[in-house]
Structure 1
């Protein structure tokens, strides 16, 4: 399978090249040259399969032409040591709980899968060291850092915006040490993402060190997230709730919903998608106007969605054909909602009191969008992307409570913060990396 750039100004790459490089030479994002469909009879039988078996089926569709089946199955097995249950919140609305991995966030699957796939290619090529640059608005940093922790031949640099991730999120990637370096950037997530992209394009840096990314920029990070969608469908199909399925995705950098759109293109029978936004609503504006206008992000209580220029928008445009009908095709399948901090807080409080279900700020956006839009006969599932305790201060304040911190998070909180502060200008970042 070859992977082309969304900018289409560079030669197609192999899977190995796309994973190791991360970003195409023309600054575009890699896309597979074709999407392999999964047969309807296989999809109908998913309800009889385990999460591991489902993930293997999907992984082979993506990567089976490039990796031996036994090797690929082992990578999937090493990635999945946890379940992602669908939980009923109301008769029509279900939560897909994606916070049962090591860092209690949905990005655990993508981070762990990429660590193992990149490690496989490093060994295959006999490389000494690959350096992973990753910008995070919250959970990406912890998932990638923990996925790559101790992996031989890989050093990870996590760039995060100072004061704009929750304390618990921060401790999950700043306390690890070993092959993980945390860089605290005096700016926003968009500044962090800009630094990462600029580093990939800098010839001097790339001569000095081999760079790749573990953001959803990288195909090995975002494609495995499609496992979740097939697994959710299988669980709902077991209980007869998979007809007229509507999936709502809290959306920041849009890697997660893009993975869902790939699953849909592969044949998964999802009726429609909803992209739930906080006040960073450039995608909703695009749906309404057909014009994409990126702008600086603003801080909200759903901080992992504080993205003003989502990278994966380029993949969505490419997936639905960059022509005059693109906007029409996208809006036929995807709708959008935006919620203020006050609306998010009200949803968390109301659902907890009425349904006894604890939402995190991002999941609250997903729940509320479904409640606002589900039609007769439709069943909705929203992706509850991180454990509410990762946003403990916010949730406690909303509920007037003291929610319990799971043991996994408590273990991270005992570590000592190890991070380096940097300005948001590229020269400072570049000079730092040149010393490594």
Structure 2
């Protein structure tokens, strides 16, 4: 499989080049030349398969031409050391719980897969060291840092906005040491993401060190997230609930919903998608006006979605570029909603009191979007619960006036000593720091 840039000005790349480079030379995002299809029989049979078997089927379709089957299966097996269960929350509304991995967030799937794939390429090519740059608004940093922790030949630099991630999230990537360095940026997530993109475009830096990204701009980060969409469908199919499926995705940088759209293009029978936003509603504005207008992000209690210029919007536009009117085609498959902090808090409290289910602020957006969308009688609603509520303990405790339990996995991170390097949002400072390494 070859990979092209969404800006169409860079040469085609192999999977290895796309993964190691992260971003194309023309600043575009890599996309596979074709999206493979799975047969209806293969998808119908997934209800009889394990998560590992389902993921191997999807991975083989995407990566089978570039990686030996045994190696690919081992990477998938090592990645998926946990399940992604579907849990009933309300009448005909289910949660896809993506917080059962090592850092209790959905990004464990993509980050662990990418770490293992990049490690494979480094060993295969005999590369000395690859430096991974990752911007985070919360969960990406912890998932990537823990996925790459101790991997030979890789050093990770996590850029995060000062004072804008939860204390528990911060502990998950600032206490690790070894090959993980946390950079505390005096700015917001968009500033962190801009620094990463600027680094890739800087000739002096790239001559000094080999750089790649572990954000969802990297194909090896977002493509594996399609695994759990197929797994969710298989679970609902076993219940007889997969016939008219509506999937609601809490959306920030739009890598997660893009992975769902890839699964749909591969043949997964999703009736429609909902992009659930917090007050950072650039995509909803696009749906309503047909114009994409990035703007500075706004801090909310659903902080992982505080993105004012979602990178993966370029991939969504590219996917629908085959249609005469891409905006119309996007609107036919995807709807959008926005929620304020007050509405998110109300949803968390209501669902906890009435359904006995504890939502995190991001999952609350996904759930409420299904409620406001008013599902038809025959439709099944599935929302993605993207992180464990305890990762936002201060927020959730305040909303519910309670003291939610912190899982042992999270407690372990909180025992370490925080280590981070403070930097301004000025690229010159960031560049000088990297050149000194």
Q: TM-score interval w.r.t. the shorter chain?
A: over 0.9
| Secondary structure of 2:234 counterpart | helix
**Aligned mates of 2:62, 2:142 — CA distance in 1:** 25
| Secondary structure of 2:270 counterpart | coil
**Aligned mates of 1:277, 1:324 — CA distance in 2:** 27
Alignment correspondent of 1:429? 430
Which moves more between the two structures, 239-248 or 317-326? Answer: 317-326
Alignment correspondent of 2:21? 21
Counterparts in 2 of 1:196 and 1:322: CA distance versus 1, 3 Å: farther
Alignment correspondent of 1:279? 279
Alignment correspondent of 2:144? 144
| Secondary structure of 2:381 counterpart | strand
* 1:363 and 2:340 aligned: no
Per the TM alignment, residue 90 of structure 1 is displaced from its structure 2 partner at its CA by 1.1
**Aligned mates of 1:382, 1:306 — CA distance in 2:** 19
| Secondary structure of 2:364 counterpart | helix
Counterparts in 2 of 1:86 and 1:323: CA distance versus 1, 3 Å: closer
**Aligned mates of 1:63, 1:324 — CA distance in 2:** 30
Structure 1: gaps spanning 5 or more residues? none
**Aligned mates of 1:138, 1:227 — CA distance in 2:** 22
* 1:300 and 2:338 aligned: no
Structure 2: gaps spanning 5 or more residues? none
Residue pairs, 1:8-407, within 5 angstroms: 8-321=8-321, 325-373=325-373, 374-407=375-408
TM normalised by structure 2 equals 0.99
| Secondary structure of 2:157 counterpart | strand
| 1:369-427, Cα deviation, whole Å (9 max, x unpaired) | 00111222110000000000000000000000000000000000001000000000000
Per the TM alignment, residue 91 of structure 1 is displaced from its structure 2 partner at its CA by 2.1
**Aligned mates of 1:7, 1:36 — CA distance in 2:** 22
Q: Contact 2:248/2:366 (CA < 8 Å) preserved in 1? A: yes
**Aligned mates of 1:94, 1:147 — CA distance in 2:** 28
Counterparts in 2 of 1:322 and 1:280: CA distance versus 1, 3 Å: farther
**Aligned mates of 1:116, 1:56 — CA distance in 2:** 15
Q: Contact 2:59/2:224 (CA < 8 Å) preserved in 1? A: yes
Tell me the C-alpha RMSD between the 2 structures. Answer: 0.6
TM normalised by structure 1 equals 0.99
**Aligned mates of 2:322, 2:300 — CA distance in 1:** 32
**Aligned mates of 1:61, 1:127 — CA distance in 2:** 27
What is the aligned length?
436
Deviating runs (4+, > 2 A) in structure 1? none
**Aligned mates of 1:243, 1:380 — CA distance in 2:** 11
| 1:30-51, Cα deviation, whole Å (9 max, x unpaired) | 0000001001000000000000
Per the TM alignment, residue 322 of structure 1 is displaced from its structure 2 partner at its CA by 6.7
**Aligned mates of 2:286, 2:422 — CA distance in 1:** 35
Counterparts in 2 of 1:378 and 1:323: CA distance versus 1, 3 Å: closer
**Aligned mates of 1:314, 1:261 — CA distance in 2:** 13
Q: Contact 2:323/2:329 (CA < 8 Å) preserved in 1? A: no
* 1:408 and 2:405 aligned: no
**Aligned mates of 2:12, 2:436 — CA distance in 1:** 32
| Secondary structure of 1:87 counterpart | strand
| 1:127-180, Cα deviation, whole Å (9 max, x unpaired) | 000000000001000000000000000000000000000000000000000000
**Aligned mates of 2:40, 2:121 — CA distance in 1:** 33
Per the TM alignment, residue 324 of structure 1 is displaced from its structure 2 partner at its CA by 5.1
Q: Contact 2:199/2:205 (CA < 8 Å) preserved in 1? A: yes
